[in-house]
Amino acid sequence: MLRLLIFMALSYPALAQEPVSALPYSSVYEQRRSEQLIARGLLHMEAKDFWAAEKTFLDAVQVAKVNYGLRAPQQRAALGHLIEALLAQQKWQLAGHQLSYFEWLNDEIYLRDFYDYLRGTKQLSELLYRASADAYNSNSTRYLILAKNLSWRAISAIEATLGETDPELVPWLYDVVLAHYYQVSLIKRRSLLREVTAQGDSTAYNGWTLAKSESLRISYRIGRDLLRRIQLILSISEDSPTEASAIAVLYQADWELLFGHETAAVTLYSEASRQLSAIGVPTDRLDKLFGRPRVLPEPILYTGVNALEAALAEGPIQFRAWTPNYPGAQLPSAQVAHADGPQLGSVLVEFTLLPTPPIALMDNRRIIKLGFGLRNVDVLELTPQDSALDDEVRYQMSLLQLRPPLKNGMPVEMDRLQLRYHFAPQQALPNSRES
């Protein structure tokens, strides 16, 4: 949990205040100036002038404090942008101070407006995830843990205020599920794989893998239990409880598949299909819903068939990698994307998806993902064109887990599937000269 260094967080903006503006304001603390400073700071961010953006957002925070008060929520807009500018400059310590101040401010808001507190908590969570995804921050994992703990705090607040079965809990519970998946994906990082497979001492090797296996078991159990709780909450809600509950079973099946429990996954996929069929969803509609593979886990928890259908875009499956820190994890939302990172292009891949589980977790220093396997991977398009990227693409594809196509609740083979893979910002890609 974040801890506030109040003196540093409150005095820092005042010390770094910009010189008197040349704009025609009767006072530098006029209310309207805060919004104008934010607009100017965003222009600096767009121009990659992060130092100027930092100074401008600092002024905007100070103006909001003077006009609305030290504990006013109006500070959060400028404060969020200030943290983004600090992260872009890799000023980790200063960003940490401002994140602490943000949490303190949000806790003060909780005493006055519960739902505004939740909105602020979501904004702070997005900032923490963005910090955790920065490949240049050696302490990035700490921000992932802080984001997960923040979600738990929101859950506790909702339980105390609204009750333990209120639907408001559902998105926060799913945020924790996703956080545990991101923790698991850390194991796929190449630096960790090299550490494991290069161990010459079998005792050290076994100790390392046992520790990671225990971490996997803990994350699996927590995610499974939270998804079951989500299903229970949705099953007693007033808004299409049976439909929402059946879709929650689909997410449980996905979770089992992600952790290599293929038999349990198939059973749950069949149960989700059966429940939806029982409430009148036509067979042809079910075939459309379940006949198109999805990269797992879903970044959004859908609770209705219509929403689930709307997410099925025509054409190739789209996968936007989030960060090298979380291999195989797709970008959760635009709010946590690294807009300041280089855009590295994309690749169009064609493959066959087989309902045949691999038999190994790790082979020849490479992750072999758990679940249903990809075969006949063929690179159709590559941007930028570079022969050295071909192997990298195949490696990145091997880290993905897809929900298999289902017919009557059972996985089936699907040939000539296409997937558009968008590389993550900050992804270190090989080039021909290096190879």
Say what the pLDDT of residue 207 is.
37
Q: Which two tokens stand for residue 242?
A: 């049976």
- Residue 215 pLDDT class (50, 70, 90 cuts): confident
User: In 3D, which of 301, 268, 307, 296 has the Cα closest to residue 169?
Assistant: 301
CA 56 to the chain's CA centroid = 29
Q: How far is CA 376 from CA 255, 350, 383, 385, in A?
A: 26, 8, 21, 21
Asked if the model's pLDDT at residue 79 lies above 90, the reply is: yes
**Angstrom distance (rounded) from CA 358 to CA 370:** 7
What tens digit of pLDDT does each residue of 350-406 get? 988 887 554 443 444 444 444 467 778 888 888 777 666 777 888 888 888 888 888
Answer whether residue 238 shows pLDDT above 80: no
pLDDT at 96: 93
Q: Are 295 and 330 in contact (CB under 8 A)?
A: yes
pLDDT for 301-332, tens place per residue?
998 888 888 888 778 999 999 998 999 899 99
Q: Is residue 303 within 8 Å of residue 247, measured between CB atoms? A: yes
Question: What pLDDT does 337 receive?
Answer: 82
Tell whether the model's pLDDT for residue 195 goes beyond 90. no
DSSP line for 39-80: HHHHHHHHTT-HHHHHHHHHHHHHHHHHHH-TT-GGGHHHHH
Of 168-172, 183-187, 208-212, where does the model show the most confidence?
168-172
How many other CB atoms are there within 10 angstroms of residue 70's CB atom?
Answer: 11
Residue 2 has pLDDT above 80, yes or no: no
Place 340 in a pLDDT band, splitting at 50, 70 and 90.
low
**Mean pLDDT computed over every residue of the chain:** 81
**CB neighbours (10 Å) of residue 53?**
25
Q: Are 248 and 230 in contact (CB under 8 A)?
A: yes
Whether 137 and 131 have beta carbons less than 8 Å apart is answered as: yes
Q: What is the number of H-type helices and E-type strands within the chain?
A: 15, 10
- Which pLDDT tens digit goes with each residue over 254-270? 999 999 888 899 899 99
**Position 34 confidence tier, pLDDT thresholds 50, 70, 90:** confident
pLDDT digits (tens, 9 = 90+) for 275-290: 999 999 898 888 888 8
Structure tokens of 273?
A: 């299909």
Among 310, 292, 326, 304, which residue's Cα sits nearest to residue 418?
Answer: 292
Report d(CA 55, CA 415) in Å as an integer: 54
pLDDT at residue 174, rounded to an integer: 98
Give the up-direction half-sphere exposure of residue 229: CA atoms within 13 A in the CB hemisphere.
20
More confident residue, 433 or 302: 302
Check: CB of residue 246 under 8 Å from CB of residue 305: no
- Joined together, the tokens standing for residue 373 give 């396997």
Cα–Cα–Cα angle for 379, 395, 384, nearest 5°? Answer: 50
pLDDT at 356: 57
Nearest to 333 by CA among 146, 123, 139, 141: 123
pLDDT in tens, 109-136: 998 999 999 999 999 999 999 999 998 8
3 state DSSP class of 348: strand
